[in-house]
Amino acid sequence: MKNCSDKLKIVYFHHGLWSSNSPSTGFVTNNLFGFYEAGIDFTLLSVKHGKDSVADILNKRFGINHQLPIILLNCDIFKRIHFFIYIFAFFKLLQMDYDVLITRNLGFLAYAYLLKKFRSFNIYFEAHDYFSDLSKRPDASKRYKEYQREKRYIPKVNGVICVSAGLAELFKNKYTSTPVLTALTAFNYRNNVSPHLHHTYKIAYTGTFNTPHYDLELLIEAMKFIKNKKVTLLLVGFKNTAIKHRFRSLLEQFGVDSRVHLIDWMSAEDLTTLLQNCDIGLCPLVDNFLTLYSAPTKVMDYISRGIPVFASDITSMRQLYPQSKALKLLPLKARDWAAEIDRFYNDESQLCIMSESAIELSSNYTWRNRADIITDFIRQ
């Protein structure tokens, strides 16, 4: 094991396209900015996508006006093929100077250990999923390769960094000799966010619409039972016309098409403007193994903007921020969501209380705080 000095040099490799519409782009970029604010020598290594300059993307998409250390691999026609990306990354890392390599890509761990034959550094794996017990996964037949990689490499890494407490518990129980850290996904804390004081009667769900992990039909059905007809539901982030048509049919089926708006995917800047005019952010996660350890970025997006969150009353949500008044957890029943939304609008003080709690919460869980936690873990 390499002795990590006070002056750490860290490289974080992610095989995803930078910049893309994937939530991972926002995660790795905000993670980088957190280390930058903490004064840590930290470089993001990812895959070039698009023609815009790094400075323009940081400014326009993330509101970051700093020159961050980002190295983009120009993989050209191979940018979506992991094998070639890993080869490009391997040779780039051979040329770089660093003490620590962090990756969130199981497939790259084999290449990372090949690199160790040529130089000395420590390897940390950032876990966003768990494959070591396929008996619990509904997609087990497609995940044997990931299962093999975890079983082979997790016992070897210097540590595992988990984005939720539930995920960390799984790794600790399975790999008792490997150090495991819980480093929650952080908030983009904004000093200029003020508490929401007056109802706009707009509630919103943002994100993906082609996943079994969210009960989006519940939200549409709840609109049928909400007594306050001023309330409007915004479903934001459609990228596929066919899926959008399917949801339009659902609106007609429940008779709520006049009070639910289907909105296409939009830039982060436009999304911020839209969410500033919303009273509630919605997160109807279903209860299954794959959501047991999830930390949905949409919850962080809502809270960082001072928006109260209504989410499913499931294990992962209970563990996330158990003491905060910013979240209201509800059973996955449309009538319960409708009743709670009506209660929220019958008492305007709830908006202010939950919004102030959201702002306080986001100020305590910043990306810089997360960077400090990870750095302390690495230096142990």
For residue 219, the domain's CATH number is: 3.40.50.2000
Mean pLDDT lowest among 5-19, 165-179, 187-201: 187-201
Please indicate, yes or no, whether residues 162 and 298 belong to a single structural domain of this protein. no
Tracing tokens 């994937």 back to the chain, one arrives at 22
Q: Quick one: which of 298, 206, 280, 209 has its CA closest to 250?
A: 209
Residue 356 lies in a domain: yes
pLDDT at 3 over 60: no
Please indicate, yes or no, whether residues 159 and 217 belong to a single structural domain of this protein. no
Instruction: Give the pLDDT score at 100.
Output: 98
pLDDT band at 290 (very low <50, low <70, confident <90, very high): confident
* Position 179, amino acid: P
Please indicate, yes or no, whether residues 274 and 179 belong to a single structural domain of this protein. no
CB atoms near residue 95 (< 10 Å): 6
Nearest-angstrom CA–CA distance, 189 and 303: 9
pLDDT at 1 over 50: no
Instruction: Give the pLDDT score at 5.
Output: 47
pLDDT at 321 over 90: no
Q: Mean pLDDT over all residues of the chain?
A: 93
Residue 53 lies in a domain: yes
Residue 254 lies in a domain: yes
Burial of residue 171, with CB atoms counted within 10 A of its CB: 0-12 exposed, 13-18 middle, 19 or more buried:
buried
Nearest-angstrom CA–CA distance, 164 and 185: 7
Please indicate, yes or no, whether residues 48 and 136 belong to a single structural domain of this protein. yes
The HSE-up count of residue 30 (CA atoms within 13 Å, CB side) is 24
Please indicate, yes or no, whether residues 150 and 63 belong to a single structural domain of this protein. yes
Q: Quick one: which of 284, 247, 286 has its CA closest to 263?
A: 247
Residue 197 lies in a domain: no
Please indicate, yes or no, whether residues 223 and 359 belong to a single structural domain of this protein. yes
What is the mean predicted confidence (pLDDT) over 214-228? 97
Please indicate, yes or no, whether residues 269 and 237 belong to a single structural domain of this protein. yes
Please indicate, yes or no, whether residues 209 and 140 belong to a single structural domain of this protein. no
Residue 309 lies in a domain: yes
Residue 3 lies in a domain: no
Nearest-angstrom CA–CA distance, 208 and 89: 29
Total domains present in the chain: 2
Q: Three-class SS of residue 239?
A: coil
Please indicate, yes or no, whether residues 16 and 159 belong to a single structural domain of this protein. yes
- Tens of pLDDT, residues 253-267: 999 999 999 999 887
Tokens, residue 285: 């996660």
Instruction: Give the pLDDT score at 319.
Output: 84
Please indicate, yes or no, whether residues 157 and 20 belong to a single structural domain of this protein. yes
pLDDT at 104 over 50: yes
Please indicate, yes or no, whether residues 220 and 354 belong to a single structural domain of this protein. yes
Residue 162 lies in a domain: yes
Paired residues of 122 in beta bridges: 100
Residue 193 lies in a domain: no
Please indicate, yes or no, whether residues 28 and 170 belong to a single structural domain of this protein. yes
pTM of structure? 0.88
31 and 11 Cβ atoms separated by less than 8 Å: no
Q: Which domain covers residue 223, as residue numbers?
A: 202-364
Chain centre to alpha carbon of residue 28: 9
Nearest-angstrom CA–CA distance, 327 and 334: 18
Task: Please give the share of the chain, as a percent, with pLDDT higher than 70.
Answer: 97
pLDDT at 188 over 80: no
What is the mean predicted confidence (pLDDT) over 59-84? 94
Nearest-angstrom CA–CA distance, 375 and 40: 8
pLDDT at 294 over 80: no
